[in-house]
Amino acid sequence: MSKKVLVLSTSPRKGGNSDVLADEFVRGAREAGHEVEKIALYDQNIGFCRGCLSCLETQRCVIGDDANVIAEHMRTADVIAFATPIYYYGMCGQMKTLLDRANPLYSADYQFRDIYLLAAAAEQEEHTVDGAVTGLQGWIDCFEKACFAGKVFAGGVTGVGEIRGHRALNEAYEMGKNIDRSK
């Protein structure tokens, strides 16, 4: 069954390593017949959450920027994949800011169920991504119909393009291709 898949590339660098992982996930999901949209945050205007909680009543943030449009795309997706570089053993600030700004979804009738994480880092140790997984899981735990469906980690990549030839590219492609079977 075809699903509506949203891939959110949160890297501040166009063509950065996590952005390339996102592209491979997109390629796999499209080849599997899913409807896929990718949104890259590097060209979006997203401010910080103000903590006013008005969004819980209105299901829309009072800040008039791109986060409102992105949150609507998140609400109507069946599957969401977040791609992030790992900074200081956690998700990048752009991803955390987006998760905070997605607060209007908490009280909304959201469609998403499966949430994926695609991450790249200079460090190679498998535990490098644990902080990002924990942070994303904390967000997922607020949405009782959603679950963490899997991750791909590309370690040992720093500069733009260093991910070329990394095994994680194939893993991201296969994960996208096997969305329905990856849990």
Q: How many domains does the chain have?
A: 1
* Res 159: pLDDT: 87
Strand pairing of 35-40 and 4-9? parallel
H-helix segments, the chain: 17-31, 55-58, 66-76, 93-101, 130-140, 167-177
| Whether the Cβ atoms of residue 35 and residue 2 lie closer than 8 Å to each other | yes
Q: How far is CA 69 from the centre of its chain?
A: 15
- Tell me which amino acid residue 96 is: K
CATH code, domain carrying 12: 3.40.50.360
Q: Residue 133 is part of which domain span?
A: 4-181
d(CA 173, CA 106): 30
Q: What is the pTM of this model?
A: 0.95
CB within 8 A of 182, min separation 6: which ones?
Answer: 114, 116, 149, 150, 175
d(CA 65, CA 57): 19
Per-residue pLDDT of the chain (183 residues; tens, 9 = 90+): 899 999 999 999 998 999 999 999 999 999 999 999 999 999 999 999 999 999 988 888 999 999 999 999 999 999 999 999 999 999 999 999 999 999 999 988 999 999 999 999 999 999 999 999 999 999 999 999 999 999 999 999 998 888 999 999 999 999 999 997 644
| Whether the Cβ atoms of residue 21 and residue 40 lie closer than 8 Å to each other | no
